[in-house]
Structure 1
Amino acid sequence: MQEPVAGDPNAVLPPSHTAIMNPAANPRRMRRIIAEDPEWSLAIVPQLTELCIQHIISNFEKNPILESLLPQHQRKVLDKISISLPLAVTANLISDEDYWKRCCTEKWTVCDVSHYGDSWKRMFFERHLENILKFYIPDTTSSNQVLDVIPLCKEYVRKLEIDQFLPPVKTDQKKEDEDISDTESDAGIDEPSMDHFDMSMLIPALCHLEELDLSYGVKDCGMNFEWNLFEFTYRDCSSLANAVKKCPTLKVFKLSRSKVDDDKARLLIKHLLDHPSLIELNLSHNLIADRGARAVGKLMNCSKLITLNLCDNRIRAPGAQAIAHALAKNSTLISLNLRLNCIEDEGGQAICHALLVNSTLTTLHLGGNELSDPTATLFSQVLAQNLVLTHINLSCNHIGLDGGKQLLEGMTDNKTVVEFDLRLAEVGQESEYLINQVIKTNRELARLKSLQHPSNMPGPNPVEEKHSEGD
């Protein structure tokens, strides 16, 4: 009998061969094939392009390939690469906003990109640098943590807001006591340094920095509270002053709640006298008195300041007189905040005399300054003659009923003031009500005027309006 030839369609195979070629024909002899790769499936094999993209993603840290890819392939890589890659790899290579949005939302719960010029990359680097500085411990944290990140973030940081600076860690108290007892005969023992991070290492290197908001203190210190945790040392002040002087792009400088006294204020202002770009200075909630106020007056005559905030300091009449003298000659300042000082009527009247000749100031806050009827009498002349003031705050003073009537008389022909806060000023309900009626009329006139000429709409300085709530 002739053997069947393999591949011959006419050949008749024996039953055993038929079962091998078609296992279904003989269930008892069916074999199950198990793949060696547990991820193997019947799906279509990925395209080579996809395999290459996956390889790039997996090895991006060691071999970051991006710019040479086609746009659609770049998109796939950026959507899938890890957000935990070192900044040394991603900082200057990746500009895609979606990638930096992923980085921000993964790291912080609240992310309002509108505060960062609608740039996620700027938000990431500003907040990343802020976090490093907030938790930097002098003599413990390596300065390289800051120095290494400067080249990566300097092109993207426009604003820094640092609300705490940690002091050096105190040495063991027992050991410290023993050291003191061993050397108590020595004269001139220096106290441990409480200096914070040296800002002169950082600020001059940030070539686009425009706003600096600092507060030297410790948040959430709890039962470990000590006054020296809130100490802004003279060396801190000196390094900060030198740093600000070397930052020509800086427009807004805020140093609040840092126990800045007259000497430190004078040192800071000495370095700001010739600053080319500064338009807003905020030294609120400090310890500045009359000597510091005189230095501020000198700065007003040598700078382009638009907004000045000295709220909650220790300025009295002589300091207010120095500021008033500068205000009479100033032609740039738009907003002045002296709330919660103690300038009294002597200082208040000096401010009024300056406002009779000043032609730029639109917003004035003199709340909580122990002002009374004599200031109100002179202020009524300001209301009658000054054509630029739009927002006034005299709240929490002792204006009195007669002073209220004087202010009402001054408001009779006023067409510019659209906000006048007289709460807790003891002016009497009738005077306050009638003044508010004039204010409503002025607001309507301002609204109609803005419809004709939008650029002429009176209002507070945008910079002041943005930050007035907390001060």
Structure 2
Amino acid sequence: MQQPAAGDRRTAVPSPYLPRTSLAAGSYHTHRIIEDPEWSLAAVPHLTELCLQHIVHNFGKNPILDRLLPEHQRKVLDRLSTGLPLAVTANLISDEDYWKRCCTERWQVCDISNYGDSWKRMFFERHLENILKCFIPNTTDPNQVLELIPLCKDYVRKLEVDQFLPPVKVDQKEERDDLSDTVSDFGPSGVSVHHYDLGVLITALPHLEELHLTYGVKDCGMNFEWNLFNFTYQDCNNLAAAVKMCHNLKVFKLTRSKVDDDKTRLLVHNLLDHPCLVELNLSHNLIRDQGARAVGKLINRSRLEILDLCNNQICHLGAQALAQALAENSTLTSLNLRLNCVEDEGGEAIGRALLTNTTLKSIHLGSNNLSETTATLFSQVLAQNTALTSINFSCNPLGLGGGKQLLEGLVDNKALTEFDLRLAEVGQETEYRIHQIVWANWEAARLGSLQHPHANLL
């Protein structure tokens, strides 16, 4: 019987119908040929495919990409592991689909609209943020950050770090109550509790435009100690010097970090005449009147457009200092003083400033213990100021008289489109009539924007 040719995938099996012969006698063993219906030449990979597989497998050692044809580059990028060293991929791979895989495999929630619609930017910003959140001074190797700088510096435009870990304490036998506003820069054992110095990093990021920081520890649970939330004077000094050198910085937010008057003055000193800063957020801190005075100087020594001092301890003296700056300012468009205690003396000062200011569009004075006296002055503001579009007086005891005063001032006002009077005790009827006027202004502004869609661009 004819034997299968070399390379033939057909299988020879003994036939049950033919007699077996003894191999020892030198006779041939009889077989039956069965065809393999699934075998074809297509099962043999093309040489190109074998080469691409080799490139992908050895990409970490020999990253060949630019020399490939576009269709071959696509196949390699689709198969590359997202675990390759950043030293290999950072400045070589710009393909957004690859960085999308890197992001989605690492984080469950990925919204690239917050990152300029760039997956690569999202990856490097969040990767750097995670390193900073977990950095422990005197324990973590600083090279983790330093070695990342040349890889990420062209892609990082915003950093949001909501946690800074302090050094690990050597001695925990002694404990101290740090409820006071002035806290030592040293822990109970005398060990420095300064946090990671951002100076080297943010001054090496040429495209950094936004910096959002909170000095504290998240999810500390039963390990809570006040020292975990100690933004030291040295921390502030390091940060202020770094921000001063960050010439492209537009947005600076330092919140929930126990920033007091001394630290505020230090920050402001380094922000005076900053060439690009347009938004400053120091909300949820410990700023009092002295700190507010310093911020007042900053208002007219910078290009600030948005200032948020919500939930501090600013009283009427601080509000008067801010009002004095506001009366001369021509850049600020939004001021938030919610949850302070400026009272009527501070509220009236701000109202008088708004009689001359022509650029502020939004003012938030909620929860400041304001009464009818402030409402009376703001009645004049509403009658004369044509720049303000949003006022918030919520949670202030303005009273029925205050409500009537505000309503009178609104009669001829065509600019105000938002007016929050919740829990201001102005009376249901007055609040409804004010709402009707503000709603009419809003509708007119909306129709005007539809008729002149490019008006805001002129």
TM over 0.5: yes
Structure 1 counterpart of 2:258? 259
Asked if structure 2 preserves the Cα contact closer than 8 Å seen for 1:449 and 1:457, the reply is no
Structure 2 vs 1, CA of residues 232 and 435 (structure 1 numbering), >3 Å: closer, same or farther?
same
- One-letter amino acid of the counterpart of residue 263, structure 1: D
Asked if structure 2 preserves the Cα contact closer than 8 Å seen for 1:211 and 1:253, the reply is yes
- Cα distance in 1, alignment partners of residues 238 and 94 from structure 2: 34
1:230-260: CA deviation from partner (whole Å, max 9, x where unpaired): 0000110001001101111100000000000
Offset of residue 446 of structure 1: 0.9
Offset of residue 190 of structure 1: 7.8
Offset of residue 42 of structure 1: 6.5
Q: Secondary structure at the match of 1:107?
A: coil
Asked if structure 1 preserves the Cα contact closer than 8 Å seen for 2:170 and 2:189, the reply is no
Q: Secondary structure at the match of 2:356?
A: coil
Structure 2 vs 1, CA of residues 31 and 129 (structure 1 numbering), >3 Å: closer, same or farther?
farther
1:204-229: CA deviation from partner (whole Å, max 9, x where unpaired): 00110000000001000000001110
Q: Secondary structure at the match of 1:302?
A: coil
The unaligned stretches of length 5 or more in structure 1 are 1-17, 34-39, 178-188, 459-471
Q: Secondary structure at the match of 1:173?
A: coil
- Cα distance in 2, alignment partners of residues 275 and 390 from structure 1: 28
Offset of residue 361 of structure 1: 0.5
Does 2:117 align with 1:113?
no
Asked if structure 2 preserves the Cα contact closer than 8 Å seen for 1:419 and 1:439, the reply is yes
Pairs within 5 Å for 1:153-168: 153-168=152-167
Q: Secondary structure at the match of 1:109?
A: coil
Structure 1 counterpart of 2:300? 301
- One-letter amino acid of the counterpart of residue 288, structure 1: I
- One-letter amino acid of the counterpart of residue 92, structure 2: L
Does 2:96 align with 1:92?
no
Q: Secondary structure at the match of 1:405?
A: helix
Offset of residue 328 of structure 1: 0.5
Q: Secondary structure at the match of 1:326?
A: helix
Structure 2 counterpart of 1:194? 193
Structure 2 vs 1, CA of residues 309 and 42 (structure 1 numbering), >3 Å: closer, same or farther?
same
Structure 2 counterpart of 1:383? 382
Structure 2 counterpart of 1:310? 309
Aligned length: 423
Pairs within 5 Å for 1:66-465: 66-174=65-173, 191-456=190-455
Asked if structure 2 preserves the Cα contact closer than 8 Å seen for 1:349 and 1:375, the reply is yes
1:239-282: CA deviation from partner (whole Å, max 9, x where unpaired): 10011011111000000000000000100010000211000000
- Cα distance in 1, alignment partners of residues 451 and 4 from structure 2: 92
1:274-328: CA deviation from partner (whole Å, max 9, x where unpaired): 2110000000000001111111110011111010000000111111011000001
Structure 2 vs 1, CA of residues 31 and 276 (structure 1 numbering), >3 Å: closer, same or farther?
farther
- Cα distance in 1, alignment partners of residues 4 and 450 from structure 2: 90
Structure 2 vs 1, CA of residues 453 and 86 (structure 1 numbering), >3 Å: closer, same or farther?
same
- One-letter amino acid of the counterpart of residue 193, structure 1: S
Structure 2 vs 1, CA of residues 432 and 85 (structure 1 numbering), >3 Å: closer, same or farther?
same
- One-letter amino acid of the counterpart of residue 75, structure 1: R
TM-score, length of structure 1 as denominator length? 0.87
Structure 2 vs 1, CA of residues 31 and 337 (structure 1 numbering), >3 Å: closer, same or farther?
farther
Q: Secondary structure at the match of 2:300?
A: helix
1:54-110: CA deviation from partner (whole Å, max 9, x where unpaired): 110000000000001000000000000111000000000000000000000000000
Q: Secondary structure at the match of 1:369?
A: coil
Offset of residue 47 of structure 1: 1.3
Asked if structure 2 preserves the Cα contact closer than 8 Å seen for 1:122 and 1:156, the reply is yes
Asked if structure 2 preserves the Cα contact closer than 8 Å seen for 1:282 and 1:309, the reply is yes
- Cα distance in 2, alignment partners of residues 201 and 457 from structure 1: 40
Asked if structure 2 preserves the Cα contact closer than 8 Å seen for 1:447 and 1:457, the reply is no
Q: Secondary structure at the match of 2:297?
A: helix
Offset of residue 455 of structure 1: 4.1
- Cα distance in 2, alignment partners of residues 54 and 24 from structure 1: 37
- One-letter amino acid of the counterpart of residue 278, structure 1: L
- Cα distance in 2, alignment partners of residues 21 and 398 from structure 1: 101
Asked if structure 1 preserves the Cα contact closer than 8 Å seen for 2:13 and 2:31, the reply is no
Offset of residue 173 of structure 1: 2.8
**Aligned Cα root-mean-square deviation (Å):** 2.1
Structure 2 counterpart of 1:181? none
The unaligned stretches of length 5 or more in structure 2 are 6-11, 21-28, 34-38, 176-187
- Cα distance in 1, alignment partners of residues 189 and 294 from structure 2: 31
Structure 2 vs 1, CA of residues 407 and 85 (structure 1 numbering), >3 Å: closer, same or farther?
same
Structure 2 vs 1, CA of residues 31 and 167 (structure 1 numbering), >3 Å: closer, same or farther?
farther
Asked if structure 1 preserves the Cα contact closer than 8 Å seen for 2:378 and 2:406, the reply is yes
- Cα distance in 1, alignment partners of residues 218 and 136 from structure 2: 14
- Cα distance in 2, alignment partners of residues 122 and 313 from structure 1: 34
Q: Secondary structure at the match of 1:341?
A: coil
Matched-pair identity in %: 70
Structure 2 vs 1, CA of residues 42 and 349 (structure 1 numbering), >3 Å: closer, same or farther?
same
Structure 2 vs 1, CA of residues 305 and 56 (structure 1 numbering), >3 Å: closer, same or farther?
same
Structure 2 counterpart of 1:466? none
- One-letter amino acid of the counterpart of residue 375, structure 2: A
- Cα distance in 2, alignment partners of residues 443 and 229 from structure 1: 46
- Cα distance in 1, alignment partners of residues 32 and 289 from structure 2: 95
1:322-372: CA deviation from partner (whole Å, max 9, x where unpaired): 100000110010100000000010000000000000000001100000110
Q: Secondary structure at the match of 1:110?
A: coil
Asked if structure 2 preserves the Cα contact closer than 8 Å seen for 1:446 and 1:457, the reply is no
Structure 2 vs 1, CA of residues 390 and 455 (structure 1 numbering), >3 Å: closer, same or farther?
farther
Asked if structure 1 preserves the Cα contact closer than 8 Å seen for 2:14 and 2:31, the reply is no
